[in-house]
A and B are shown apart, each in its own frame.
Chain A
Amino acid sequence: RKEVEQDPGPFNVPEGATVAFNCTYSNSASQSFFWYRQDCRKEPKLLMSVYSSGNEDGRFTAQLNRASQYISLLIRDSKLSDSATYLCVSYSGYSTLTFGKGTMLLVSP
């Protein structure tokens, strides 16, 4: 049973573009959500938490829609260094996180 689903991409965008990723989760008991970033052949790193009210961190905006059970990540003014795989993550208790398979973003000059 897949609990967190994401479009694998890749999303190919030019520098300066705005790009949005969505992910859906199936466990309505999920309590918290996060976006992680994973560079090629590297470990995932926490990008930001996702709050019900929506939150912004510089060029990144995360939104949570509990009614529809989806989470979004918006990246404005894309940089070459934003190229990575973005993992959508849910926390449902018992001290463990459930990871989506990730969405690949490729930003080109």
Chain B
Amino acid sequence: SQTIHQWPATLVQPVGSPLSLECTVEGTSNPNLYWYRQAAGRGLQLLFYSVGIGQISSEVPQNLSASRPQDRQFILSSKKLLLSDSGFYLCAWSRDTGGYTFGSGTRLTVV
């Protein structure tokens, strides 16, 4: 069966510090991968998605970036965090048009 791993679960980082969140999927190949952010009291916002190694589509211009160095690995990064980057970051994978499976999320607080 397929599983998705996301870490860390919580993170407190100072403004201006770098960020690296990692997500890996097991039990499937060539999945579609996604990074979403959910800010307090707001809906899920798609940040990036990838349909293959090295293929990254950005939905929202910001100081975040994503990379997919391996088929089942998706990384979200920032060189310098802003206070507004605080939120609940969710990685997800899908095989087709629905049935997204989310990782357990990373709760990021920028202080």
Contact = CB atoms under 8 A, between A and B. Distances in A.
Interface in B48-104: 49, 51, 59, 88, 90, 94, 97-104
Contacts, number: 49
A102 B102 contact: no
A41 B111 CA distance: 20
Interface string A83-109: 000010001000111111110000000
Contacts of A44: 44, 90, 100, 102
B102 A91 contact: no
Contact of A43 (B49, B98, B103): B103
B86 to A, nearest CB: 14
Interface residues of B, number: 23
Interface residues of A, number: 20
A32 B51 CA distance: 19
A43 B43 contact: no
A27 to B, nearest CB: 14
Contacts of B100: 44, 46, 97
B43 A32 contact: no
Contact of B98 (A32, A45, A98, A99): A32
Interface string A38-54: 00011111100100000
Interface of A: 31-32, 34, 41-46, 49, 87, 91, 95-102
9 contacts: A44-B102, A95-B94, A95-B97, A96-B46, A96-B49, A97-B100, A99-B36, A99-B43, A102-B43
Interface of B: 32, 34, 36, 42-44, 46, 49, 51, 59, 88, 90, 94, 97-105, 107
